[in-house]
Amino acid sequence: DIVATQEMFVFGLGPLIDSVEANTASAMMRILGFEFQTCFLESAPAVGQSSGLVVYSKLPIVRAEHHVFSARRAVSCKGWLEVEIELPASDGLPARLMLFNTHLEHAHSQHWRNIREQQWREIVERASG
């Protein structure tokens, strides 16, 4: 009932935005019944690449918040997407699910391994707080 994706990148260059793949994915997911979706444009910078993170859900999304890592590539908005989803009530009590979707840096040199560790620490700190 919930799909978390990465690589739904939107590229910005001033007033120009390339979001063809993200638009196509959004439309396909709606056809499949994933009516509730986070906004793939929300993390798009004026110049550069968005986080590429999107959550599609058949359950209501109550809140969605994009966070950008403090350490990342210069033209990238990689980070995590924090989503609160309303679950069906159990015994008359409302329930919510907190979901974190992320896409860490991918290079394998020691420098980027250190960056990935720092990125994980940011997510853990947020999830623990």
| Residue 29, number of CB atoms within 10 A of its CB | 19
pTM of the model: 0.91
pLDDT digits (tens, 9 = 90+) for 12-66: 998 888 999 999 999 999 999 999 999 999 998 889 999 999 999 999 999 999 9
- CA–CA distance, 23 with 8 (Å, rounded to integer): 9
Strand partners, 12: 17, 48
User: Is a pLDDT exceeding 90 seen at residue 108?
Assistant: no
- CA–CA distance, 34 with 59 (Å, rounded to integer): 8
- pLDDT for res 87: 94
- CA–CA distance, 16 with 10 (Å, rounded to integer): 10
